[in-house]
Amino acid sequence: MVERAETVIERGDIVVTAAVLKKRLVFEATVSTDDTIKLGDLTTVQSAHLAKKSDGTEVSCTVATNVITVTGVGLTDVPVIGFALGV
């Protein structure tokens, strides 16, 4: 397992209600199975999605606090694009 750095492509806020503001990040990284991506811009990731840049297929992942763990099987140095929503 390796912690991989992400390159943030876009960041912004989403207004859920006047009192609730969420952050969104679009990022890219190169990952292998069991690697982690720690998103320093967020303290809590509430939803995250990864897709292969080559063909757009989804890459399975799990989330704990602000860390995304790649769970897709058989991945080695695969460029992905990601979307995360959190606070």
Per-residue pLDDT 10s for the chain (87 aa) are 788 888 998 888 888 777 788 999 999 999 999 999 999 999 999 999 999 999 999 999 999 999 999 999 999 999 999 999 999
Question: What is the predicted pLDDT for the residue at 16?
Answer: 78
pTM of the entire structure?
A: 0.84
Q: How many domains does the chain have?
A: 1
3-state secondary structure of 8: strand
Tell me if 71 sits within 8 A of 64, measured CB to CB: no
Question: What is the predicted pLDDT for the residue at 86?
Answer: 95
Tell me if 83 sits within 8 A of 39, measured CB to CB: no
Tell me if 19 sits within 8 A of 58, measured CB to CB: no
Structure tokens belonging to residue 18: 């006047």
Task: For residue 74, give its domain range.
Answer: 3-86
Question: What is the predicted pLDDT for the residue at 57?
Answer: 97
Task: For residues 38 and 18, give the distance between their C-alpha atoms in angstroms, rounded to a whole number.
Answer: 29
